[in-house]
Chains A and B, each alone.
Chain A
């Protein structure tokens, strides 16, 4: 299966700082999503971004499919951004299988 690696595994920020999270994947993909898992465990959809760049408020994401990576940018971080960020990829030859990275655990301190 596809290998998905996320970095860094842990990140501690002071409120107001910016950060970049990275997701590398080992093969061509047709679907890439970023999720935020809140402290209660719920996975919140952030971006559906198989290629290109998208922005939503303080968050933005870029996927360079040809180079097999995606970046999630968080600007002016807030304590509510804390949690775990997951990257998941889907592939054309198995539309029903999504491969998840191990996540980046973000702790934003006030």
Chain B
């Protein structure tokens, strides 16, 4: 089945450690995204990538890093510089569209990170 796979679903880390969250999609989508969700809140954009080897900062990129070496993969590293890393992280993808239409966004199941 086509979809977006995030791993791990749950992750516990000690303060000061870097952690990497995996996001893999087999939808052949060009654009991929990382969002952060805090309890009771909406989604905030961390990073996005339109094509391989290109990515842009979103609204809350500080303390995070990404790479896009393959079309299907967009891993997110939460570094020790991120002050409040405990959150729910969602990866999404979208097929780029020509013209004004922006294409439908699809999400993975999310990764819940807790920093102790």
Interface string of B36-72 (1 = CB under 8 A from A): 0100011111001010000010100000000000000
**What range describes how many residues of A lie at the interface?**
20 to 34
Are B43 and A100 within 8 A (Cβ)?
Answer: yes
Query: Are the CB atoms of B48 and A102 closer together than 8 Å?
Result: no
A30 touches B100 (CB 8 A): yes
Whether B102 and A90, one on each chain, are in contact in the complex, defined by CB atoms closer than 8 angstroms, is: yes
Residue with the highest number of chain A CB atoms closer than 10 Å, among B102, B109, B112: B102
The interface stretch among A14-22, A39-47, A53-61, A74-82 is A39-47
B105 touches A33 (CB 8 A): yes
Cα(A48)–Cα(B31), bound, Å: 17
**Shortest Cβ distance from A44 into chain B, in angstroms?**
8
Q: Is the CB of A43 within 8 A of B56?
A: no
Total A-B residue contacts, Cβ distance less than 8 Å: 63
B43→A41 contact, CB < 8 A = no
Tell me whether chain A's interface is mostly helix, strand or loop, or mixed.
strand
- In chain A, positions 83-106 with a C-beta closer than 8 Å to chain B are 86, 88, 90-92, 95-98, 100-103
**A42-B110, A96-B56 known; A31+B103 contact, CB < 8 A:** yes
**Of A30, A92, A96, A103, the contact of B42 (CB 8 Å cutoff):** A103
Choice from B50, B90, B100 contacting A96 with Cβ under 8 Å: B50
Pairs A-B, 8 closest by C-beta atoms? A90-B102, A31-B102, A43-B107, A48-B104, A100-B43, A100-B42, A102-B42, A92-B100
